[in-house]
Structure 1
Amino acid sequence: MLDILAITGPIYLCIAAGYASVRWNLFTKADMRVFGKFVIQIALPALLFNALASRPLGEVVHPGYLLAFTAGSLALIGAALWFSRSVLRKSLTESAYVAMGMTCSNSGYVGYPVMLLLFGPLGGVILALNLIVENLIKLPLLFTLADAGAHEGERPSLLQALKQTGERLVRNPMIVAIFAGFVVALLGWQLPAVITRTVTLFSAASSGMALFIIGGTLVGLQVKGMRRQVSLIAVGKLLLHPLAVFAAVSLLPLLGLPSVDGDLRTAAVLSAAMPMLGIYSILAQRHGFEGFTAAALLATTAASFFTLSAILWLMRHSAGWLA
């Protein structure tokens, strides 16, 4: 168990350091937003570009991983939407944010540092694959549903939501970096050493700072009065999402579809087991649901220390999953 804690411990110590720095006024929550902008706009895009552009195309394209991660996530999105709408009687917009909390992982701020510790340079490729699924499939789908739910009965609003989603993707620096990295890998270009070293310097800043930011943003969040909904989202994100992806990884090859092999099998399940993306509550502000989403972010991030450690332990003691 100590070897598992050696992997997860540094992750949560960095988060704790960020929390303490804001709690004790070394930095402010406004500072965390500035740091976060640097990570999202510069450091993570540099990391993604470097991870993809520095490898042959065959090493960064993994159809089986993309298919399994997408299939498991979409299955849970469907189940979450049905449960929230039919059982909890929530609106389509609120149900979309419940599904987002259950299925959209914090692949950059928490997932990448874990993958880096476990798999070394492969962690950057895993991050890129996760962001492709989340930014091109899951988030556009959920944003469209949330916007459509806010204007139910108005057909043009759905088209407008799709247009707005497309515009967000084009302006997203991480999507631009993924595309640019794929182009460089496809064409086999060798970039000048001064460029690659500069990109590497920026990408190296992403891991620790990302975790530090997560800790700082958790200061002041409250869970009181929302325990039922928060618990539902936490269980969905930390247990049901990795279970759904595990099922997809195991079952899709039986249908003759591409399989997920080696470290990528472990990475797919662990990626699903991460807490939800750090800007979850910020995204929900546009429809007035920042309350329960912020509470869910706090509870899920705290609980993920135990669930991630448990899942890592189970995989390590399951033949063929984690060496």
Structure 2
Amino acid sequence: MPSVSTILIPLFGCIAVGVASGAWRLFGWSEARVLSRFVFLVAMPITVLSFTRKAEVPNLAYAGLVGGYLLATMLSAGAAFLLSRKLLGLTVQEAGAAVFATTCGNAVFLGLPIALAVGSWAPPFLMLMICEGLFVFALGTSLMTWPAPGAAPPRGGVLGTSLGAAWRAGRNPIVLAFLIGLSLDVLGFEWPEPVGRFLDLFGGVAGPAGLFVLGLMLALLPGRQSELNPRALAALLPVKLAVYPGLCGGFVWLFTRDPVLTQTALLFTALPPAVASIVQSAHYRRYEAGTAALVGSGTLIGLATVTLLLLVLL
């Protein structure tokens, strides 16, 4: 495994360039949105294809990884929902945005570059990204679109809303790239050398670009936070950054006894809240300011806690 400094110095260097670019107003929020779409829709899928052509096919232990992750996610989402409703007084729809921010981590911009740097963490990390894309997005969307008291139920009911959200999440370009690459790997497909070189060359853009966007948004987020509720941060961030990874790591170790899968589960669930939480809350107009505060403060604290986690694991 590479050393912590080998991973973190380039990682934090890219983030620092993004922070400086935002602080000096070289780029604004609209440019950050465009750059994030480039990373999410183009660069990261090509990176995933490049990786899967060299990776081993997942083994049966991944069933324990997925089971431990889903169990920890359900418990953590339940805790976040109850805290949001009982302690913070949010509606069901607002609590859905809080649950989404608490259970969806910054896997694309922060987690995947770390997992790819370690190597052995990347295949299970990508598997967890698929689970998150299907389950967490479906759960969050279902809650955020929950009918208000007295309102007509959504078309297809709650089940229809959940299945529709899962279907949209399943078309995530990164998820599709992983499934395509994995299928070709299972079939024994040999990539032509020029194609492989293209994938490696273009895929190398994704990590630095994603980390740059993360730093840029970190610099711009404070200006978009109209409220900073210390009570919400104190209630939800410990669930995201401590309880959730503790549960997931414990369940995965219990089910698999595999140190690599356990380490990957810890990293994946310990990541700070994803910027996608802001996009989702804004789209459904649910708890927008509170979500921005969770992501902004959670990213700062999460960078520190992920660093400590890597120091322990590596």
Using the size of structure 2 for normalisation, the TM-score is: 0.87
Aligned mates of 1:58, 1:164 — CA distance in 2: 27
Counterpart residue number, 1:217 = 217
Partner of residue 146 from structure 1, selected from 144, 147, 155:
144
**Which residues in structure 2 correspond to 1:269-308 (within 5 Å)?**
269-288=266-285, 289-308=287-306
Q: Contact between 1:72 and 1:241, CA under 8 Å: does it hold in 2?
A: yes
Aligned mates of 2:210, 2:151 — CA distance in 1: 40
Counterpart residue number, 1:134 = 132
User: Where do 4+ consecutive residues of structure 1 move more than 6 Å?
Assistant: none
Aligned mates of 2:208, 2:70 — CA distance in 1: 28
Root-mean-square deviation (CA, aligned residues, Å) is 2.4
How many pairs does the alignment contain? 306
Aligned mates of 2:61, 2:173 — CA distance in 1: 20
Cα displacement (A) at 1:60? 9.6
Cα displacement (A) at 1:214? 1.0
Partner of residue 310 from structure 2, selected from 287, 309, 312:
312
Counterpart residue number, 1:74 = 74
Aligned mates of 2:114, 2:85 — CA distance in 1: 34
Cα displacement (A) at 1:167? 4.8
Aligned mates of 2:60, 2:115 — CA distance in 1: 15
Seq. identity, %: 25
Give the counterpart letter for 1:196 in structure 2.
G
Counterpart residue number, 2:203 = 203
Q: Are 1:261 and 2:258 an aligned pair?
A: yes
Structure 1 unmatched runs, 5+: 254-258, 317-321
Aligned mates of 1:33, 1:105 — CA distance in 2: 18
Structure 1 260/286 Cα, relative in aligned 2: closer, same or farther at 3 Å? farther
Give the counterpart letter for 2:93 in structure 1.
T
Using the size of structure 1 for normalisation, the TM-score is: 0.85
**Which residues in structure 2 correspond to 1:1-323 (within 5 Å)?**
4=4, 7-58=7-58, 62-117=62-117, 119-120=118-119, 122-149=120-147, 153-157=151-155, 158=158, 161-162=161-162, 164-169=164-169, 171-222=171-222, 224-251=227-254, 253=255, 259-288=256-285, 289-313=287-311, 315-316=312-313, 322=314
Aligned mates of 2:202, 2:149 — CA distance in 1: 42
Structure 2 unmatched runs, 5+: none
The 3-state SS of whatever aligns with 2:191 is coil
Give the counterpart letter for 1:93 in structure 2.
Q
Counterpart residue number, 1:256 = none
Aligned mates of 1:180, 1:216 — CA distance in 2: 31
State which drifts further: 8-17 or 286-295: 8-17
Structure 1 59/198 Cα, relative in aligned 2: closer, same or farther at 3 Å? farther
Cα displacement (A) at 1:266? 1.1
Cα displacement (A) at 1:212? 0.5
Structure 1 61/198 Cα, relative in aligned 2: closer, same or farther at 3 Å? farther
